[in-house]
Amino acid sequence: MHKISEQNAHLAKMHALKAQKQSSAIEKFGKALQRRNMTAQEYGQFIEEYGQTAQKYAQESLFYSQLLQEPNCESTPLFGLAAQAHSKAGQLQVQAVNKYIDLVQEKMKGTEAHTQAIKKHLDLIQEKLEAIKKRRQSLPPNQA
């Protein structure tokens, strides 16, 4: 079997540690979202779960990458397992970000609808003001 270099073993370990840190941040972000409104709570729950699962894969990647540094190990299969677990952690991180994007888009739709309702209300007020203005202009000067 081919032996993975110490440098590649070290890089695999550093990538696994970085994936752990990122996954932990995603989990914390998901928890923080759950303290908001009902919509954000649901999305936050998904994001937290993605972060937790990604952490498990990152931990698995770290485990394999640490084994790479052991003497007399079959490093090629271990490196493959470390990379596979790291890849799964990354995929889950991307899914968490996509879930957050979904939340932001949903909020934007709600904001857009609210903005349109306000504009319609302001248009009605403007029409009423114009009607009042015309009525005042049509009154004799001493009644205006």
Q: Do the domain assignments include residue 34?
A: yes
Q: Rounded mean pLDDT of 14-43?
A: 92
Q: Do the domain assignments include residue 82?
A: yes
Q: How far is residue 117 from each of residues 37, 112, 114, 121, measured CA to CA in Å?
A: 22, 9, 5, 6
Q: Do the domain assignments include residue 23?
A: yes
Question: Which amino acid appears at position 90 of this protein?
Answer: G
Q: Do the domain assignments include residue 49?
A: yes
Supply the DSSP symbol for 139: S
Question: Mean of the per-residue pLDDT values for the chain?
Answer: 89
pLDDT digits (tens, 9 = 90+) for 80-120: 999 999 999 999 999 999 999 999 998 888 888 888 888 88
Query: In 34-74, which ranges are continuous DSSP H helix?
Result: 38-67
Q: Distance (Å, rounded) from C-alpha 94 to C-alpha 20?
A: 14
- From 26, 6, 36, select the one nearest 100 (Cα to Cα): 26
Q: Do the domain assignments include residue 37?
A: yes
Q: Do the domain assignments include residue 113?
A: no
Domain, as residue range, for 64: 6-104
Lowest-confidence range among 62-71, 94-103, 118-127, 132-141? 132-141
pLDDT category of residue 144 using cuts at 50, 70 and 90: low
- pLDDT for 143 equals 65
Q: Distance (Å, rounded) from C-alpha 35 to C-alpha 45?
A: 10
Q: Distance (Å, rounded) from C-alpha 68 to C-alpha 9?
A: 6
Lowest-confidence range among 51-55, 66-70, 78-82? 66-70
Cα distance between the two ends of the chain: 99
Residue 1 has pLDDT above 60, yes or no: no
Percent of the chain with pLDDT over 90: 50
- pLDDT for 2 equals 66
Q: Do the domain assignments include residue 71?
A: yes
